């Protein structure tokens, strides 16, 4: 399984109403320092993907997405639709990680 597929595999495990960070996902696929690459992988998703890309945010709880296909605004609306409170800040959106961060402890990593 290549890197991208692993990222998507893990991302699909995030339940509705929860979020995960790039770093968390990187750790689960045995590359604890590949957070940037995770973002790179998600960026490559097609606009009609079934992968819940909106549930992946950065370690500070911000929607750091910068992608013409998937804007932070769209991401915020999708998350709210799932029941997550997204706070609008100056030029970014913020999610309370303490409340919504998903715990992967029972998730098996991909092969």
Partner DNA sequence: AAGGTGACTAACA
Partner DNA sequence: ATGTTAGCCACCT
Note the residues at the interface with DNA (CB under 7 A). 2-4, 21-23, 31, 33-45, 53-54, 56, 58-60, 64-67, 70
3-state SS, residue 23: helix
Choice between 38 and 95, CB closer to DNA: 38
- We find the least distance from the C-beta atom of residue 111 to DNA, in angstroms, to be 15
User: How many CB atoms neighbour CB 83 within 10 A?
Assistant: 10
**Measured CA angle at 82 (ends 32, 78), to 5 deg:** 80
- We find the least distance from the C-beta atom of residue 3 to DNA, in angstroms, to be 4
Per DSSP, the residues of 39-92 read: HHHHHTS-TT--S-GGGEE-TTSB-----SSS-HHHHHHHHHHTT--EEE-SSS
- We find the least distance from the C-beta atom of residue 108 to DNA, in angstroms, to be 19
Choice between 69 and 108, CB closer to DNA: 69
Choice between 15 and 89, CB closer to DNA: 89
């Amino acid at each position: 399984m290549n890197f991208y597929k692993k990222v998507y595999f893990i991302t699909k495990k995030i339940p509705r109403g929860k979020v995960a960070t790039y770093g968390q996902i990187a750790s689960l696929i045995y590359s604890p320092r590949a957070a940037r690459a995770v973002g790179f992988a998600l960026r490559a998703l097609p606009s009609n993907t079934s992968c819940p890309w909106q549930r992946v945010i950065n370690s500070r709880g911000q929607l750091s997405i910068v992608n013409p296909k998937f804007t932070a605004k769209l991401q915020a609306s999708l998350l709210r639709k799932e029941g997550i409170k997204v706070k609008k800040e100056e030029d970014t959106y913020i999610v309370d990680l303490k409340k919504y961060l998903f715990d992967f402890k029972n998730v098996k990593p991909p092969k």
